[in-house]
Amino acid sequence: MNMTPGITPSGEGISALKWNILGQTYIPKLYSDNAFVWHALLPADSFVPPHVHPTQDEWITILDGELEVAFGDQVFTAGAGDTVKMPMGIAHGITNKSGKDANCFFGVAPSRKLFELFNALHDLGDPDEVVRLSALHEVDFLPPPAG
């Protein structure tokens, strides 16, 4: 898929799409074979468990709020204006412990199967099914820690 020229207006997604993925809101803003960018609202106390993108680099630019990003045992805090870089093949988890919503832009390159995954996950409330479908779309969640 090639990117088409134009503007995706504020508050709107490509083709009016807006995904609810386990309580987080994702709005696609740019999509091509080469890159996929979405606006995300991560409510306070929400998280994305540790996972790996074996075929994509990922990044987050924080607009407002704050997120903790874990790379194994290392945890970093990112705030407004910061960009978090998550190279392909490196496990990472994201948590909003700030007490308020976090607004940010996420992106991946190349797009691979992530756009299709978000379509499949929209309004799906079963975390086990989220993990299963994610694995089919090149996103591998790590097992929970023992104990």
Parse the chain into domains and list their residue ranges.
Answer: 28-139
Across residues 40-52, what is the average pLDDT? 97
Across residues 7-32, what is the average pLDDT? 96
Q: What percent of the chain has pLDDT over 70?
A: 99
CA distance 33 to 134: 18
CA distance 71 to 8: 32
What is the reported pLDDT for 80?
A: 98
* pLDDT of 147 strictly over 80: no
Task: Report the phi/psi class of residue 141: left, alpha or beta, with left for phi > 0 and alpha for psi in -120 to 50.
Answer: beta
List C-alpha distances in Å: 63 to 10, 28, 125, 129.
Answer: 13, 16, 27, 30
Across residues 81-95, what is the average pLDDT? 98
Q: What is the mean pLDDT of the chain?
A: 96
Using the structure block, give the residue that is written with the tokens 């929970």: 144
At 60-81, the pLDDT tens digits run: 999 999 999 999 999 999 999 9
What is the reported pLDDT for 145?
A: 73
pTM: 0.95
28-139: CATH architecture = Sandwich (2.60)
At 103-135, the pLDDT tens digits run: 999 999 999 999 999 999 999 999 999 999 999
